[in-house]
Amino acid sequence: MINQADTLFVLLSAAFVMLMTPGLAFFYGGMVRRKNILSVLMQCFVALCLLSLQWILFGYSLSFAPGSGFWGGLSWFGLNGVGTAPYAGYSATIPHEAFMVFQMMFAVITPALIIGAFAERMKFSAFLVFTLLWATFVYDPLCHWVWGEGGWLRNLGVMDFAGGIVVHTSAGVAALVTTIVIGKRKNLEHTPSPHNLPFVVLGTALLWFGWYGFNAGSALAVNGIAVNAFVVTNTAAAAAGLSWALLEWIRNGKPTVFGIVTGSIAGLATVTPASGFVSPISAIIIGIAASIVCFIAVAVTKPRFGYDDSLDAFGVHGVGGILGTLLTGVLASKVINPAGANGLFYGNPKQLLIQLIGVAVAAGYTFLATFAIYKLVDIFFRMRVSEKDELVGLDLTQHRERAYTILE
């Protein structure tokens, strides 16, 4: 039976999550140098266009059609059979198409997250091909394993409420792979400072706002779980933002706005898999843990290994997603969500093991498949722009336009 309130909630959540991609565009766009901002905005927007179409043509079918344990198959190709009648396997109270479009927005933002790793140096044509292949051969299968009917990780009991594995771990690991193989940016004695920090703050605000749709909407109904997800999402973001600022204060002497927004995003990414299974108090623990671990990843690990993850897509999303998935195995409680499972702290150490397997499998698969796709595209298109193009900036060399005028 279709429920109007549930339908409206899922549609609205889909709109919220759609807004996260422009939000991410500004979050990333403000961080790059002035000569490259449009290339980042362009990549995010093109991802929105391209993957919306990929999803209705075959992405949704590969991910969610009840095929084998490993892929969904093509039985829902072109939304064939996906209509306004509910599909009880996923959600019995809303039209099947509403579920499809909600999931579409996840499929759009995940590849967009990777942009942070190779920003300021990837050729646009190569980006397009890479993104399409990555969505098809990494995101769609992974999504099927964890969320699709019959998916083998789902059957194993892996808990991922709103995409800690599917979205953040996969995008983060892909970011790490691409940033290593594409190499550092030129002339990088010191990291360039963000060219427009207010844009970063604007982007964070839109992301935080949209994340309510991302996490609470994943309940797919207006119920207590949605409310709980809403509350823990906000709590974790707040705890993480605050603790990041404190860490900076202690370590560098001054808290920064760049730090507080980075922390908030880390908190949001980390609480994503847990949001339907943990209590608000657990969310505070998750938020603080997110800041500490991601701060170490960004401020200590990255300089030590010397990879140039330009905008910390791995350091924030990858590390946050992995941490969140594991913490779900620790802090999940059946009191919050009877359909879930208890975690380590609630007397079920097995769940942590399952979560660990889920993350390890996802990270391993993503690592290998991303590397293969990268190399393939590199052979045909060359991923990296020429040195001169990089110095002149991608806006002018890839798109022949400029973000700002000087005099008029």
Partner 1 sequence: MKLVIAIIQPYKLEEVKEELYKVDVNLITVSEVLGHGRQKGVTEVYRGSKETGNLLRKVRLEIAVNDNFLEPTIKAIVKGAKTGETGDGKIFVLDLKECIRIRTEEQGSQAIG
Partner 2 sequence: MNSGDTAWVLISSALVLLMTPGLAFFYGGMVRRKNVLSVLMQCFIIMCVLSIQWVLIGYSLSFHPGNGFWGGLKWMGLNGVGLEPYADYAGTIPHQAFMAFQMMFAIITPALIIGAFAERMKFSAFLIFTLLWATFVYDPLCHWVWGMGGWLRNLGALDFAGGTVVHINAGIAALVTAIVLGKRANLDKNIPTPHNMPFVVLGTGLLWFGWFGFNAGSALAANGLAVNAFVVTNTAAAAAGLSWALIEWMRNGKPTIFGVCSGAVAGLVAITPAAGYVNVVSALIIGFLVSMICFIAVTVIKPLFGYDDSLDAFGVHCVGGMWGALATGLFASKLVNPAGSDGLFFGNPKQFLVQLAAVLVTVAYTSVVTFIIYKLVDVFVGVRVDEKTEAMGLDLTQHRERAYTVLE
Interface with partner 1 (CB under 8 A)? 187, 388, 391-393, 396-397, 400-402, 406-407
Q: Are 119 and 107 in contact (CB under 8 A)?
A: no
Which residue in 315, 268, 262, 259 sits closest to 287, CA to CA?
A: 268
Binding residue for partner 2, selected from 27, 31, 36, 41, defined by CB under 8 A: 41
How many Å apart are CA 396 and CA 408, to the nearest integer? 19
Determine the straight-line distance between the first and last CA of the chain, rounded to whole angstroms.
Answer: 58
- 225 makes contact, choosing from partner 1, partner 2, none, with CB < 5 to 8 Å by partner type, with none
Give yes or no for residue 331 binding partner 2 (CB under 8 A). Answer: no
Give yes or no for residue 400 binding partner 2 (CB under 8 A). Answer: yes
- 65 makes contact, choosing from partner 1, partner 2, none, with CB < 5 to 8 Å by partner type, with none
- 2 makes contact, choosing from partner 1, partner 2, none, with CB < 5 to 8 Å by partner type, with partner 2
Q: Are 341 and 358 in contact (CB under 8 A)?
A: no
Give yes or no for residue 38 binding partner 2 (CB under 8 A). Answer: yes
Which residue in 396, 406, 398, 407 sits closest to 35, CA to CA?
A: 396
Residue environment code for 164-178, b if the CB has 16+ CB neighbours within 10 A, otherwise e:
bbbbbbbbbbbbbbb
Neighbours of 402 (CB within 10 A): 14
For partner 2, the closer CB: 95 or 259 = 95
For partner 2, the closer CB: 78 or 224 = 78
Rounded to 10 deg, the angle between the 124-134 and 96-118 helix axes is 140
Binding residue for partner 2, selected from 118, 139, 199, 314, defined by CB under 8 A: 199
- 153 makes contact, choosing from partner 1, partner 2, none, with CB < 5 to 8 Å by partner type, with none
Chain positions contacting partner 2, by CB under 8 A: 2-8, 11-12, 14-15, 18-19, 21-23, 25-26, 29, 37-38, 41-42, 45-46, 48-50, 52-53, 56, 78-79, 84, 94-95, 97-98, 100-101, 104, 124, 196, 199, 202, 206, 398-405, 407-408
